[in-house]
Every structure is written in C-alpha cells, then in structure tokens.
A and B are shown apart, each in its own frame.
Chain A
C-alpha cells in the first residue's frame, strides 16, 4: 500500500515538477504582485490598493462588456462553425483534408498580420469600410472600424478554427448510420439533429465553446488594433497596465486573477456538464 503510493508519487513527480515550475510559481508571483505597491514597476510592500481598484464599481462595465462580448463571440463562432464543420465532414475524404487545411491556415499566420489585414479592410477609407459607411452600417451608420463591433468581428474571425476543429472531430467520429436508423424510426431531420446528432457532438461543441470563450476573455491584440482606444476590454486593459501607458503592475496582476477566476468558473461548468453527459 505504502510502497505503491510511493511509486505513484515517484511517477507523478516529473509532471508535478513541471506544474510547479510553469504554473504554480508564476501564479504565486502574480498573486504576490497583485498585493504589491505600484512603482517602477512595483515594490514588495503589501497593500490591497490594486484589488480595491480592480474591484471598484467603475470597472464593472468593463468586466461585463468583456463577458458579453466573449459570450457573443462564442455564440457567433458556434453558429458559423457548426455548419462549416458539418459541411466539411460530409465531403469526400480528399476534399475534407483540403477544406480542413483551409480552415486551419489562418492559425499559421501571425495574429498581428491577420488583425492588421482586417484593419486595412475595415478602416474608413478602405475597401470594405467605405462600403459600410455608404450603406450606413455600424452603430452610428459610420462603419464599424474603431468600434467594439469590429473587435467582435476580429474575435470571431480569429477564433473560429478553434470552434470548427473540435466539432469537426466529434462529427467525424459520429456513426452516420445512426441518422439513418433515426430516420427509419420516423425522426424528421430536425428531430434526428436534436435527438441524435446534438447529444453525440455535444462534447465537441462544449470544447469548442470553451476554447473560444477563454481566448475571447483574454484577448487584447484584436481590440487594440481594430477598436482603438474607444472600447476597453479586460485583456486590453491588463495589457495596458504592464506595457501601455497606465503602467500599474499590481492592478494588472489583480485583474489577471479576475480573468482567471472567470475562466475557472467556465471550466467548472464545462466539466460538470461533460461528466453529466458521460453518465
């Protein structure tokens, strides 16, 4: 009993060591900094000022906006990604590989390049931007560049492959004869989808959603370039604390921990749902 426990810990030790060095130590540092005093960049004098600032009511709109836009990006990615994954999986194996590669290609390019590409499209004097203004699209009828909506667009564009991939994988594993069996027993297409496809593809949907959500919550490059300074999301604001004009490491650390908390909550929900499905 004791020796087997010893062996277990011995076998686990490399993983634990890895976890300690790359996760626990940095995490402890972040927690430590969040209680440090602002300076150049900070001094190790204990204070809760950063936390008070991070939890101040004035910050609430930013948190909520981040949450809504992350959920929004997730929902749009799901609505777009599911049909894409479905379409790809129904092609011939050859066509599938090509289409699938096309979905993944954007991930190979540097995110900055991709987001700048959108900037050159959406800017007010650019190809798409011009038309948006002519057609009176956008919150003020003035295009979407430099608004929160261009940021949402960028997020959906960049995170879509993360939604497509897991859904595609689940669909590919699904036995399509189950749909025939359901049809044979009188299920219409809608009911086949609801009773057979969705429960079986659910793990992929959940995984894709969590991947998109996590990245959306922390995003800063996309809003930085496409939404300018008008609209602050948490990720961008945190970035600003460390690298930008604000220069407040303790506040940045505290807000990072809040983001982590939000993601942890999402993950807990995800695992809860996942285990319920598996039961």
Chain B
C-alpha cells in the first residue's frame, strides 16, 4: 500500500509564549479530501501554513512523498494554496493571475495559454479572462483563485477557508463544485474550515482540532457518530451529554448508571466497571414511542417541557423523572399528536446512538 502523500509528524509551533500547534501528527493520502476543522485559533490555519511552507515548525517535521522538502521553501514544493481572501493579484487580469504560476515555471507561452484556457473552462469563467479581479463577484474571484492554484498541476492543494466570504447559497454551490473538481482531477485537497457542515459534506476524512491539538481524525460518519471526546461531540452537531458510571459489561455494550437511570451504550472499547463516563446522544436519534420496553433499545418516560419549531424539525426539551433533561429532534410533520408542554411521552434510542466518552 502506498504511504501517505503528506506526513505531519509531531509538529509544534509557538508564537512567542503561545503554543499554537501542539504535537500535531497527520497522514494525508493521495487523492484525499482532508479537512482540518476547528474554531478560530485552534491552530488549523497555522498547520496548513506549515504544510504550505510559509511557517517553519519549531519541532517535528512535515514530509512529502517522493520529495523531501522539509527545508525547501514553498515555491519549490508542488503544493499550491487557495488563500482565505483569495489574494488575487489586483493589477493582473484573470488570465494573468491564472497564468502566474506557469510564468514562474517558465512554461512556454502557447502551452501556458492553453492551460489557462483549460483552467478557466474548468471553473466556468471561460469568458472572463480579460477582467480584473475587482470587476468580479466574490464567487468568481474564488474560482479564479482556485484556477490559479490548479494551473501548475500541484500534487496537493491547500485551501484556507476558501468559501468563508461567500453567502450561504453560493457557498453550497461552490462546495459541490470544489468536490467535483477534486474528485474528477484526482487531486489531494487539504481544506481548512470552521464550518462543520462544510467539512462533513465534502471531506473523505476530517481532523477536528482544538487548542492546537488533534481531537480526532476520522471519516465524517465516524466523527459524527463516534466522537471520541466531549469536545468533538459538542463541536459537531448537537448532543445530549449525560455523566454516569459504568455498572456492567455485556457483549458489545455496557450499562451506565446516569442519576439512577440505566442506559445501554454500544462500545468497542468498554471502560472498566466503576469508571465515570460521559454519554453523548444526538437529539435526532431519540424517537417518541408508545412502548415501555423495546429489545436492544433504551426506553425512558418523560414529560415535554418545551417545544421549539425550527423549520423542517421541531426540538423538544423533555424532562426525565430523575431530574435530567433531554433534547429530542423530530421532523415537524412527524411529531406526536397534541405534544405540548406537560404531555407525558416515552422516548427511545438504540444502543449504538450512544457514544461513550471517557470523562
């Protein structure tokens, strides 16, 4: 099997006394759409800038397959970047911008011309070659930035919040387009974003970062359904967090006592009995039920405290008899008859809807 295309090994970066990136290790495979996800200041952009060669790690190493450019400046690497605010050259036309990298590589004019045309076609800006960046809309500038980064056929494309400045509709459209281009050209994308939805919909794998450290690396499904830390469960989507103690081990699942209530949770790495754990349950995995017990399911009784309409879904805050409260997300048109404040309801969720996180 082929090794990683980009290997980040135990990389650390400080700015003054501030530890910005703290022992980050990543392996990025060829052809992968890899996202670095986290809130601002989590070190994701700095990590990307180190991969780009704009910053040097204080400790650790970044290795590229085939080449070993650990100390080679950015302009030698076959790594191109799409900058956060595009950083298009304002005094150059779209054609000149896209052709800049080719010019720097001293590609022949005819070949360069062909390649620029091809790139502009790819990003659907075929007729905009003579425009200046300031004569383009944000989305068009974004496409030019992408075309410019792709023109020299880099092995790896780094994207630093490339869609951050676009409005929601355009962002969705560009997400699809980016993913399409990445897949059809077989490119390796390393994508920095603080937008979880963006990361979930586009990525092959996601690395969630927090305070300069890697919290979890995994596929979108793994990150969403099997969060390994409370931070990840909280950062990605919404979760009900319950703190409890492991009381018994079963085949493939554990029983956890949460304030007198026993919850069954599926886990591959069961913590020892008596261990304190945090359980994370997605609101949308909890359903209403008439039954009092279901095989392989958790079933509890509660009372609706509040119900909030939010478009396609409705969120219920349900109080349990042991004093806890759960959020339940149901489709708006699928809510129980007369479900209003004070209504008694049964709640159920499967064992695999519970993620067990070390407290």
Contacts and interface: CB of A to CB of B under 8 A. Distances in A.
A181 B100 CA distance: 10
Interface stretch (A14-22, A155-163, A186-194, A263-271): A186-194
B80 interface: yes
B309 interface: no
Interface string B145-163: 0001100100000000000
Query: What interface size band does chain B fall in?
Result: 20 to 34
A187 B97 CA distance: 13
Interface residues of A, number: 18
B75 A187 contact: yes
Contacts of A191: 104
A182 interface: yes
Contacts of B54: 180, 183-184
Given A181-B83, A185-B100, A185-B148, A196 B75 contact: no
Contact of A177 (B75, B83, B149): B83
Interface in A239-279: 277
Nearest to A185: B101
Contacts of B81: 180-181, 184
B87 A186 contact: no
A23 B226 CA distance: 79
B91 A185 contact: no
B75 A185 contact: yes
Contact of A200 (B52, B73, B76, B91): B91
A186 B105 contact: yes
A195 B87 contact: no
B90 interface: yes
Closest 3 CB pairs of A and B: A185-B101, A186-B104, A181-B87
28 contacts: A177-B85, A177-B87, A178-B87, A180-B54, A181-B81, A181-B83, A181-B87, A182-B89, A183-B54, A183-B75, A184-B79, A184-B81, A185-B75, A185-B100, A185-B101, A186-B75, A186-B76, A186-B101, A186-B104, A187-B75, A187-B100, A187-B104, A195-B100, A196-B89, A199-B91, A200-B90, A200-B91, A277-B91
